[in-house]
Amino acid sequence: LNMSTSVMNISEHLSCPLGFGHYNAVDICILETVVIVLLTFLIIAGNLTVIFVFHCAPLLHHYTTSYFIQTMAYADLFVGVSCLVPTLSLLHYSTGVHESLTCQVFGYIISVLKSVSMACLACISVDRYLAITKPLSYNQLVTPCRLRICIILIWIYSCLIFLPSFFGWGKPGYHGDIFEWCATSWLTNAYFTGFIVCLLYAPAAFVICFTYFHIFKICRQHTKEINDRRARFPSHEVDAAGETGHSPDRRYAMVLFRITSVFYVLWLPYIIYFLLESSRVLENPALSFLTTWLAISNSFCNCVIYSLSNSV
């Protein structure tokens, strides 16, 4: 009886946006808490590992994409650290700040960090496109100084694009809906959502599709040419040329393509629901919670893809 009373007392303090009424409220709140705590731990641990590996392996810095991958790792690490806010809120630790301000700041920070990840993926695809289409002039086009400037611009752009949400124009996302004020008082706006889609989601997706389509098309052409040459001149020199040709570039592009694909697979349900809810077509707190944390889980998935796709 004492244990049941304690559980009920905890459930009174937990914020449950899943919207199932009073049915199994305690179980839902506990499940919600477990999901968020587990994701927070995995995101922080996984991205700390990636950052540690880059720090201890100087050879990885020879890849120009390492600048963007490390930026993504830091952004995803900050996502995990930011997730401590709803974790502590669910466990009923006071943040010491007014709920509306906490909700707005948390939603803004998470949105900016994920925007940085999305922009980095687009820049990685452009980098690989230049490496394969302009191999002779690539080192002159892509320099460490230009890469650093590009990363700074990504952070500035990501911070600016979500700034209107602080002035009452829409809601950047559902990341703060673990707080009651975010779920009930901070409403989405179809125009702001369209603004975000047109200036962030759509351009990034278009750039990625365009570059990877041409990357794999070029790699296929080179593979065909190498095979034709082998058939015509079956010599050791041709075999050696084939082994050291575009095959490593293609494998590397495949790893990055997997990372990008997983990103959009996990984020697509969130973006679709965001659009539908902003247009007042669909409103479901359970879908909001599930799509949001499915998208945030991508911050950990990148670490898994690195380790499974590339032994280096």
Does 290 reside within a domain? Answer: yes
* The pTM of the whole model exceeds 0.85: no
> pLDDT at position 155, please?
94
Does 234 reside within a domain? Answer: no
Per DSSP, the residues of 55-84 read HH-GGGGGSTHHHHHHHHHHHHHHHHHHTH
- Determine the structural domain holding residue 272 and report its residue range: 30-228+247-310
Does 6 reside within a domain? Answer: no
**d(C-alpha 281, C-alpha 193), whole Å:** 14
Does 254 reside within a domain? Answer: yes
**d(C-alpha 10, C-alpha 201), whole Å:** 39
> pLDDT at position 247, please?
58
Closest CA to 307 of 53, 44, 45: 53
**d(C-alpha 27, C-alpha 7), whole Å:** 10
Output the tens digit of pLDDT for each of the chain's 312 residues.
Answer: 443 444 344 444 444 544 444 445 566 677 777 888 888 888 898 899 888 888 888 777 777 788 888 898 899 899 888 887 776 666 655 554 577 777 788 888 888 998 998 898 889 889 888 888 888 888 888 888 999 999 999 999 999 999 888 777 878 876 666 677 777 778 788 888 888 888 988 898 899 888 888 888 887 787 777 777 777 776 555 444 444 444 566 666 677 777 778 888 888 888 888 888 877 787 777 787 888 888 888 888 877 777 666 665
What lies within 8 Å, CB to CB, of 257 at 6+ separation is 212, 216
**d(C-alpha 62, C-alpha 91), whole Å:** 44
> pLDDT at position 158, please?
92
Does 49 reside within a domain? Answer: yes
> pLDDT at position 21, please?
44
Q: 11-27 burial by CB neighbour count: b if 16+ within 10 A, else e?
A: eeebbbbbeeeeeebbe
Does 267 reside within a domain? Answer: yes
**d(C-alpha 30, C-alpha 172), whole Å:** 27
> pLDDT at position 5, please?
45
The answer to whether the beta carbons of residues 200 and 120 sit under 8 Å apart is no
What's the number of domains the chain is made of?
1
Does 187 reside within a domain? Answer: yes
**d(C-alpha 177, C-alpha 19), whole Å:** 12
**d(C-alpha 69, C-alpha 220), whole Å:** 26
The helix/strand/coil state of 170 is coil
φ/ψ bin of 310: left (φ > 0), alpha (ψ from -120 to 50), beta (otherwise): beta
The answer to whether the beta carbons of residues 259 and 120 sit under 8 Å apart is no
Does 222 reside within a domain? Answer: yes
Domain of 159: which CATH number? 1.20.1070.10
